Structure 1
Amino acid sequence: MDVKTVAVIGAGVSGVSSAIHLRNAGLDVTVFERGDVAGGVWVYDPRTALEPSYPAILPSVGDSPIFDSLLESKDRRVRRDSPVDQDFSYLKPRLNTKDLEILHAPPGPCYQGLHNNVSTPEMKLRTHDWKPDTPDFVPHDVLATYIQDTAAANKILSLISFRTRVTKVEKKGEKWEISTAKLIDEDSEKEVRESVQFFDAVVVASGHYHAPNIPDYPNLNAWKTAFPARISHSKSYRSPAPFTGKNVLVIGAGVSSTDICRELGGVANKVWQSSRGGEYDLLPSMLPDNCTRIGAIAGFSPLASVTELRDEDTLTGSIVLASNDTITNIHHIILATGYHMSYPFLSHLHADDTLPNQASETTLVTTGQASPTMSRPFHFSSFKQWL
């Protein structure tokens, strides 16, 4: 089949780059971006997404099951084996503009102090130069602006349908049916308008930093229920200011965790960083002086009783390590435990309970991980790859 029309999902660096090259090849391109601007993971939003489920919902469900459930014509319901309630329609009359905006396009993980850790010369796109004298390492807003400038300079902004969430992608004969939900202003209020379009090919460039991975630690759910404001995923982290003078446990030892620990080091009283000893964990020598590397978390102690905490109070109970040691006197817990690969608009290609090495040829994502038998009809573009 001749490919003439292409849908690109996402307007981060990979989506913008893909759209430019596809357009330059003579194809008719439409980009769907659920946010207001291009820039992907580098777009900073002081707001945060709604809290995820503890433990994490299934990868096939995605990062906003409430919004998906509210759609008038939604024929793909939340999976029956999901721990998330099936019907959120009772919430619809209560939603205000702010709620609807966040449910439609949950803010990403970009925090105030985020910088690139790959130099700008290495990140330069073929289709647009950096401004003269751009430093090697720059804040997030410089990176977001660069992606937006690239889209403008290559005249593809008109190809991007902003505030448009892709809700379903399905093969219908020789075409791909793309269902979308667009957030529009209607008489000073927000309204969601659903539509369906058909394309010859699809590029998925939606990234994978949107569906938090919340491990199923024993009693973590009870702790989150008892102390909702004291336990969060790193996706909600914006600045170290709220943790001034506090004792903080950061679970995970990857890039984001270490960056957050370094920021917390300047304001917190004491920081602990938990590491499982994974291959992507950074060296403890990168941590600030008031941060201690500890071992893997085994679980959380049962809570005998729950009382309302004052700001200066630490969490009741103890955190149990795999070594059987315990940590106490913690004010806040940040789970820097990564993200699921999640394509809720392709839920039929997920196999949430299947191990990657047991996946069929039609499985795209297994237990939150990419299947080694990645489906061939799609092109997946990672924003880590700069074209």
Structure 2
Amino acid sequence: MIEKHPKRVAVVGAGISGVTSAAHLLKQGLEVTLFERSGIEGGVWHFDERPALEPPYPNETPSRGDYETRPESASLTPPAEVGDQQEDIEIAHAPPGPCYAGLKNNVSTRMMRTSLQAWPEGTPDFVSQSVLEEYVQTIAKVHGVSAIAHYNTRVEQVRKLGTEWLVRTTTLQKAPATLGGSRLVENRWLFDAVVVASGHYHMPRVPDIPGLGEWKQAWPNRVWHSKGYRNPRIFKDQNVLLIGAGVSSVDIAKESIPYAKHVYQSSRGGAFDLPSSFLPENATRVGGVKEFRLNTTQDVESSASQPIPGTVVLTDGQELTDIHSVVLCTGYITSYPFLSHLHADTKSVDEADEFVLVTREGEMVHNLHKDIFYIEDPSLAFVGAPYHIATFSLFDFQAQVVARVLGGKGLLPSKEQMRGEYQERVKTKGLGRTFHSLRGLGEEQTYVAGLVQWMNESAAELGIEDKMQGHTAEWHQADVDRQELIRLIRGIPDPK
């Protein structure tokens, strides 16, 4: 149980999960402070043509995150390794996200509508990232979130001190060189509760494939993670190898085909790989990558017109040559570098105790009640953990639950009850990424209905008339339409 009724709440992140969390917390009358490391709301839907710096090869240690947390009382001037250019300083402080110019939603806007804001009249089901970004920003402005947000402010540490949470931040105060240049200002804050809404798509997963690091070192501009993808024109007349067969890989393949000479997509046959039928006609699905071999004796100019002098060996024995670019569409690692003391980088998912949040695989968040409240201390909450859902609306439901509980309108079960329910879910869903997946037929509806029932039973017990509403009829119709579209795309016979 939460030890005392919280008043001061910190929210980390200004994507859809952070903005909806802050908006609902404000509606409950709480004192809210939101921290966003970039200069704008929007999260993964904000397009920044500048890519983030590339991660190490390999990159598989979850607590590292996508930035190096600054030690306490660090210098107020940017470190030497950042560089002297303002742009370099900004990118190091707030690495840009994975949004690319042609990004669109793959779930209908009818299913993504939140309880806080309607879409502009006439909004189609599928829209560009700019429409989605503007929607998030509209919620922030209309519901007072922008007014309580600290932009260009990165959270370095979150730690419990007695009954309060210490949040340490660094703010990038921008200034031209003529005025002394930019500087970092450290602040320490105390809160009664913290809501982590920093999203999934920050820390690129770079697998330890034999030879990959050597390829990256020799050809750093030709081997990179899909987080840095912005425009398909860079692949003009190239043979491109995409490693991974998820959504980003398929999107890049579709966009690149008009420009590339040929696109190969490598798939290990993972549980979340999309069918090869999703690829454009001129792309080729191949097996998993066993190793990269580099021909160090071949002298080739480093221009984009020449292929990398080496061979990609696949698990089925096939070999690929004349590859110009390798893009790692290998996903992201669950990471909260500001909560590094709750990471266990050396423990496997099966070795997680009741305190750890993230183990070495970086595929799930452990010890959360309903994918939201940290069981050991529910004054630490998470919004945005589930996968394979209508993100905007589901995160809005989670945000409502957090706001109701912290605002005194929702009741938490005992720690023993939460622990028991969590262990039952582990038995049902298993550990790993599938734990947060709600892609099964009806799973998302069941999850949301459970949240609504929980909050409304609490309201009845507390004598509160303010009832939480679940999915709308429009949402359910949009879901029916979506299932029919998936059936048609995959060539599944009509059950009728």
Please tell me the TM-score bracket, short chain as reference. over 0.9
Taking the TM superposition and a 5 Å limit, the aligned residue runs for 1:52-91 are 52-56=55-59, 58-65=61-68, 68-69=69-70, 73-74=73-74, 90-91=80-81
SS in 1 for 2:344: coil
Aligned-partner SS, 2:358: coil
Q: Tell me, yes or no, if the aligned pair for 1:124 and 1:386 is still in contact at 8 Å.
A: no
Matched, 1:194 2:186: yes
Which residue of 2 is the match for residue 115 of structure 1? 104
Counterpart selection for 1:252 from 244, 253, 259: 244
Query: How far apart, in 1, do the equivalents of 2:80 and 2:347 lie?
Result: 33
- For the Cα contact (< 8 Å) 1:296–1:322, is it kept in 2? yes
The change in CA–CA distance for 1:149 and 1:89 in structure 2 (over 3 A counts) is: closer
**Equivalents in 2 of 1:219, 1:227: separation in Å?**
12
Is 1:284 aligned with 2:276? yes
Displacement of 1:306:
6.1
Find the counterpart in structure 2 of residue 161 from structure 1: 150
Contact 1:357 1:372 in 2 (8 A): no
8 Å Cα contact 1:357/1:371 also seen in 2: no
1:364 maps onto 2:357 in alignment: yes
Match of 2:233 in 1: 241
Please report how far the alpha carbon of residue 373 of structure 1 lies from its aligned counterpart in structure 2 after TM superposition: 2.6
SS in structure 2 opposite 1:301? strand
- Percent identity over the alignment? 45
Using a 3 Å threshold, how does the CA distance of structure 1 residues 57 and 285 change in structure 2: closer, same or farther? closer
State yes or no: 1:174 paired with 2:163.
yes
Alignment match, 2:174: 185
Cα distance in 2 for residues equivalent to 1:185 and 1:173 = 35
Q: Which residue of 1 aligns with 2:218?
A: 226
Q: Does 1:126 align with 2:129?
A: no
Task: Indicate the residue corresponding to 1:101 in structure 2.
Answer: 90
| Equivalent pair of 1:7/1:32 in contact (CA under 8 Å) | yes
Q: Alignment partner of 1:189: what SS?
A: coil
2:15 aligned partner: 12
Alignment gaps of 5+ in structure 2:
369-373, 386-390, 397-496
Once the two structures are TM-superposed, the CA of residue 64 in structure 1 deviates from its matched residue by 1.4
1:231-288 per-position Cα deviation (integer Å, ceiling 9, x unaligned): 1100000010010111000000001111111111121110000011111111111111
Post-superposition shift, 1:369?
2.1
2:371 aligned with 1:382: no
| Alpha-carbon distance in structure 1 between the residues aligned to 2:89 and 2:254 | 34
Q: CA deviation at 1:89?
A: 5.1
Question: Hey, what's the Cα distance between the residues in 2 that align with 1:365 and 1:248?
Answer: 33
Question: What is the TM-score when the length of structure 1 is the normalising length?
Answer: 0.92
Structure 1 runs (4+) deviating above 3 angstroms are: 302-308
Once the 2 structures are TM-superposed, how far is the Cα of residue 26 of structure 1 from its aligned partner?
A: 1.2
Name the count of aligned residue pairs: 371
Question: Post-superposition shift, 1:372?
Answer: 3.5
Whether the 8 Å contact between 2:60 and 2:333 is mirrored in structure 1 is no
Counterparts in 2 of 1:37 and 1:56: CA distance versus 1, 3 Å: same
Flag structure 1 segments of 5+ consecutive residues without an equivalent: 76-87
Amino acid at match of 1:73: S
Question: What secondary structure sits across from 1:141 in the alignment?
Answer: helix
Q: In structure 2, how many angstroms separate the alpha carbons of the residues matched to 1:273 and 1:143?
A: 28
**C-alpha deviation, 1:199, in angstroms:** 0.2
What are the Cα deviations for residues 297-341 of structure 1, in whole angstroms up to 9, with x where unaligned?
111114433644233211111011111211111110000000000
Q: Is the 8 A contact 2:200 2:332 kept in 1?
A: yes
Counterpart-to-counterpart distance in 1, 2:7 and 2:381 = 15
- In 1, distance between residues paired with 2:298 and 2:25? 57
Give the equivalent residue in structure 1 for 2:36: 33
**Counterpart among 279, 296, 309 of residue 302 in structure 2:** 309
Cα distance per residue 1:365-386 (max 9 Å; x no partner): 0121224334423211118334
Which residue pairs with 1:43 in the alignment? Answer: 46
Computing the radius of gyration from Cα coordinates, the structure with the larger value is 2
Structure 2 distance, partners of 1:372, 1:273, is 32
- What's the CA shift string for 1:70-109, capped at 9, x where partnerless? x56259xxxxxxxxxxxx95526x4321111001100000
Q: Indicate the larger mover: 321-330 or 246-255.
A: 321-330
Separation of aligned partners in 1, 2:296 and 2:174: 49
